[in-house]
Structure 1
Amino acid sequence: MSPYIISLKNASQQYDGRVILDGINIQIRKGEFVTVVGPTGCGKSTTLRLILGAELPSHGEVTINGETLDRPNRDRGIVFQKYSLFPHKTVRENVMFGLELELFNLFDPIMRTRKWMQKRKEFRREADIYLERVRLIEHADKYPNQLSGGQKQRAAIAQAMIMKPQVLLMDEPFGALDEGTREEMQVFTLEQWKETQQTVLFVTHSLEEAIFMGTRLIVISQYYKHENGQEGAKIVKDVEIPWPHPRSTKIKNMTAFKDLMEAIRYEGLNPLHLQNIGNFDLSHKDSIRDLV
């Protein structure tokens, strides 16, 4: 049995003949917190959609626990930058909605029985457990427009977590938050990760955020020396972050932290510094080198 919960092998994606991703190879173990950075348009969100099962690759293979994906399911949850909250539902109702939707069938007799009412009570209790976990229980009966940006994102995280996904995908979740709230949410998300031991794949534009949060950092970039008519982005860096969790936010001020940021920015994110494919830093122990 494979030790990897997520595996992409030679996964490529194109739209209308334009190659976005070219031969992406990723192997992720259970419980990792993997951060992904890259230039605008490199295919970071496309990679998440492939893992979610919302898209199928043009070429290659994407598997979860060894099974090829053909659709989204509750094994993968996702949190977007734009809050996935219904404005007409309370915070509690938003968090429990996924559980209701999974059971819901308009034509099922359960919808007209006491059993359904009992299930809703169970869902409410479970939603309150997660609202307690994300420190929103006192706001359970409020509506989204009564919450701050950070509170809305915590509600969205609870909404994803209540479905107990094996893999939590996060697509620029803090991009719209102010700096103080963003740092608070970074610490909060890491606390939840340590508590749940979920596998997390976290996409961000912020290199500082990626290094601070991840156990491992992947850089996807179209900035490399294309050969033989190649197109699309590749993984140009796949490295372990050297500092153990939990981490204090003070680590961001360390010289070694800033030096790592600059090295990654120069080697993987600089359009004026184009590497040969053979020079990519794929030093993480689970990198797939021979398929590049």
Structure 2
Amino acid sequence: MIEVRNVWKEYGDQVVLERVNLRIEEGEFCSMIGASGCGKSTFLRLLLGQEAATRGEILLDGKPLPREPDAHRGVVFQRYSVFEHLSVVRNVMLGLELPHAKFTGRLFGARRRAARDEAVAMLERVGLGAALDKYPQQLSGGMQQRLAIAQALMMKPRVLLLDEPFGALDPGIRKDMHELLLGLWRESNLTIFMVTHDLKEGFTLGSRVLVFDKVRVDPQAPGAYGARITYNIPLDRSRASASSLHLAQAVVEHASRSAAALI
């Protein structure tokens, strides 16, 4: 579904990513981990279309990925990307209203009722069916992140991009969010890319773990080299034993410590 061919990303003299190559099938859940500053979020922005690769190309179904965000790619950030002045249900309806209401920004009559029914169904799926008329400031952090996920899924994207979506949540709430996300992933056959600094979270959720690391570092020119995907670990939990998962996790932990020491 997605093919990344020899992608580089540079900002002036600063090389962030170099020679990134990847092939991802539809329906995979890719956890992206690595030391801070090694290009994970930059790669996510390339997939979103928010930024363009300096060299190389990213293909979706064999065609160049559009150079701007579209309905095929939903995104959820660590900071709750919701509209404070809109109710919960209006936040989720907004994605359906804007493309079809260019002048007023609203739908009316039967189309509006249908959009609301669809939004309510989505909110019930993420456990917010009892909070339809509340405003984001009246919700807990976990509930706001559920709302952000509902927003992203409302447009039925093929690819969901998550940038540390649970980093600000308490451990108990994070566990609930993990279960929610895995359930939605299995139901909808989404292709997911998730940036996380939590190794356990990456291995718990992902069907594939991608480790970003700088393999070359010049102390005299710290920006001369970029990061690559140094480990690409598929996780088949139907066959993998706990010991094999533990071994893969130990390899990644060692790589992450080495990268942090170099940087």
Residue 232 of structure 1 is matched in structure 2 by 226
Q: Please list, as runs of the form range in 1=range in 2, the aligned pairs for 1:184-195 lying within 5 A after superposition.
A: 184-195=176-187
CA shift, 1:267, in A, is 3.0
Q: 1:74 aligns with which of 66, 71, 76?
A: 71
- What's the CA shift string for 1:258-284, capped at 9, x where partnerless? 44322211135423788xxxxxxxxxx
Give, in whole Å, the separation in 2 of the partners of 1:172 and 1:137. Answer: 25
Cα contact 1:6–1:64 (8 A) shared by 2? yes
Point out where structure 1 has 5 or more consecutive residues left out of the alignment. 246-250, 275-292
Structure 1 Cα separation of the partners of residues 182 and 61 of structure 2:
24
- Alpha-carbon distance between aligned partners in 1 of 2:7 and 2:98, rounded to the nearest angstrom: 32
Distance 1:74 1:271 in 2: 36
AA aligned to 2:131 is: H
Q: 132, 137, 142: which is aligned to 1:140?
A: 132
Report the equivalent of 1:271. Answer: 259
TM-score, reference length from structure 1? 0.82
1:282: which partner in 2?
none
State the partner residue of 1:49.
Answer: 45
Corresponding residue number in structure 2 for 1:120: 112
Alignment root-mean-square deviation, CA: 2.3
Indicate the residue corresponding to 2:33 in structure 1: 37
Q: Distance in 1 between matches of 2:137 and 2:80?
A: 11
| Residue 11 of structure 2: aligned partner | 15
- Cα distance in 1 for partners of 2:171, 2:238 equals 24
Any conservation in 2 of the 1:52–1:71 contact (CA below 8 Å)?
yes
CA distance in 1: counterparts of 2:36 and 2:232, whole angstroms: 18
2:154 corresponds to 1:157: no
The structure 1 residue matched to 2:2, chosen from 3, 6, 10, is: 6
How far did residue 183 of structure 1 move? 1.4
Structure 2 match to 1:197: 189
Q: In the alignment, what sits opposite 1:221?
A: 213
Is this contact kept in 2: 1:236–1:268, CA < 8 A? no
Tell me how far 1:175 sits from its aligned partner. 0.5
Q: Does the CA-based 8 Å contact 1:36-1:217 persist in structure 2?
A: yes
Deviation at 1:16, TM superposition (A): 2.3
How big is the shift at 1:23? Answer: 1.1
Determine the C-alpha separation between the residues in 2 that align with 1:244 and 1:183.
Answer: 21
Q: Return the TM-score normalized by structure 2.
A: 0.90
The DSSP-based 3-state class of the residue aligned with 2:86 is coil
Q: Does 1:241 align with 2:235?
A: yes
**Residue 118 of structure 1: CA displacement?**
2.7
Superposition deviation, residue 242 in structure 1: 3.8
SS in structure 2 opposite 1:123?
A: helix
- Tell me what 1:60 maps to: 56
What secondary structure sits across from 2:161 in the alignment?
strand
- When the two structures are aligned, how many residues end up with a matched partner? 257
3-state SS, counterpart of residue 144 of structure 2: helix
Output the CA distance in 1 between the equivalents of 2:203 and 2:148: 23
**Deviation of 1:244 (Å):** 3.3
Q: State the secondary structure of the residue aligned to 1:139.
A: coil
CA, structure 1 residues 232+225, in 2 after alignment: closer, same or farther (shift >3 Å)?
Answer: closer
Residues in 1 aligned to 2:255 and 2:142: alpha-carbon distance in whole angstroms = 33
Classify the secondary structure of the residue corresponding to 1:271: helix
Residue 177 (structure 1) aligned with residue 172 (structure 2): no
* Deviation at residue 96 of structure 1 after TM alignment: 1.0
Contact 1:81-1:174 within 8 A present in 2 as well: yes
CA contact (8 A) 2:35 2:259 kept: no
Equivalent residue for 2:198, pick from 206, 215, 230: 206
Hey, what does 1:87 align to over in structure 2?
A: 84
Q: Which runs of 5+ in 2 are unaligned?
A: none
Identical pairs, percent: 40
Instruction: Indicate if the aligned counterparts of 2:213 and 2:259 stay in contact, CA closer than 8 A.
Output: no
